[in-house]
Amino acid sequence: MVTDFGVPTRLAQVRQRIARAASTVGREPASVRLIAVSKTQPTAALQEALAAGVETFGENRAQELAAKAPNIPATWVMVGPVQTNKARDVARWASEVQSVDRIDLVDALQRRCEQADRVLDVLVQVNTSREAAKHGVPDDASQVAAVMREIGRRDRLRLRGLMTIATRGGDETETRRCFRSLTAVQRAVQDSGIPPESVADLSMGMSGDLELAIAEGATTVRVGTALFGPRTS
């Protein structure tokens, strides 16, 4: 079956999914932020999304972020792994980084933000899927809190919350386990003294699992294919 909807139609469908998922669990649809993950998509698709009302775009490669952001007047979020030698592009073009998972990256982002005279919102990525190849701090509250305390000491970084990617191809039980692991880490780091407002944002849920994520407390969902269609590369 060929489904060739344009971005505006897909956006309306995604917003409806978010609204239904939120109201099912007694939450306001507006309590869920939508990030349009535009990786591999051409500028024309991003322009279509922008015209349809998308305000926030996400990229997973710094190089692609630096290529697209100058042409699209929107808020840009880095959701993919960042090598320290790419921190400069991120500090320059992103408003937020959701994939912070180690101290050398915290240092690099702080330094590049000083140079660019910018401030970044930061989420700590947690590896809830426990797959060795995945990025993120292990889903262990003391390790996550240690990274958070380092971020808290950097004046150019504003700690906002936690991000995770559920196990790829996992069933509903496994996906929920990942999301619950993130909310458990959120509670535990608060108990260890991290201010609640610094861990308030929970970025979890993508095209295939945003309903489960919202049911489990997501305040941000990162949606690519459901908005733009299949990726071209």
Ligand X SMILES: *Cc1c(COP(=O)(O)O)cnc(C)c1O
Report the interface residues with ligand X, using CB under 6 A: 37, 39, 60, 79-80, 165, 206-208, 222-226
Q: At its nearest, how many Å lie between ligand X and the CB of residue 185?
A: 17
Q: At its nearest, how many Å lie between ligand X and the CB of residue 99?
A: 7
Q: At its nearest, how many Å lie between ligand X and the CB of residue 195?
A: 25
Q: At its nearest, how many Å lie between ligand X and the CB of residue 39?
A: 6
CB 214 within 8 A of CB 25: yes
Residue 138 identity: P
Name the residue nearer to ligand X (CB basis): 193 or 230. Answer: 230
Name the residue nearer to ligand X (CB basis): 98 or 186. Answer: 98
CB 120 within 8 A of CB 109: yes
Name the residue nearer to ligand X (CB basis): 79 or 212. Answer: 79
Name the residue nearer to ligand X (CB basis): 36 or 151. Answer: 36
Name the residue nearer to ligand X (CB basis): 113 or 223. Answer: 223
Q: At its nearest, how many Å lie between ligand X and the CB of residue 166?
A: 10
Q: How far apart are CA 182 and CA 184, in angstroms?
A: 5
Name the residue nearer to ligand X (CB basis): 46 or 196. Answer: 46
Q: At its nearest, how many Å lie between ligand X and the CB of residue 227?
A: 8
Residue nearest to ligand X (CB): 224
Q: How far apart are CA 128 and CA 147, in angstroms?
A: 16
Torsion over CA of 200, 206, 208 and 214, rounded to 10 degrees? 20
Query: CA nearest 206: which of 94, 138, 129, 121?
Result: 129
Block residue for tokens 């919102």: 121
- Residue 54 sits at φ, ψ, to 5 deg, of -70, 130
Q: How far apart are CA 222 and CA 212, in angstroms?
A: 13
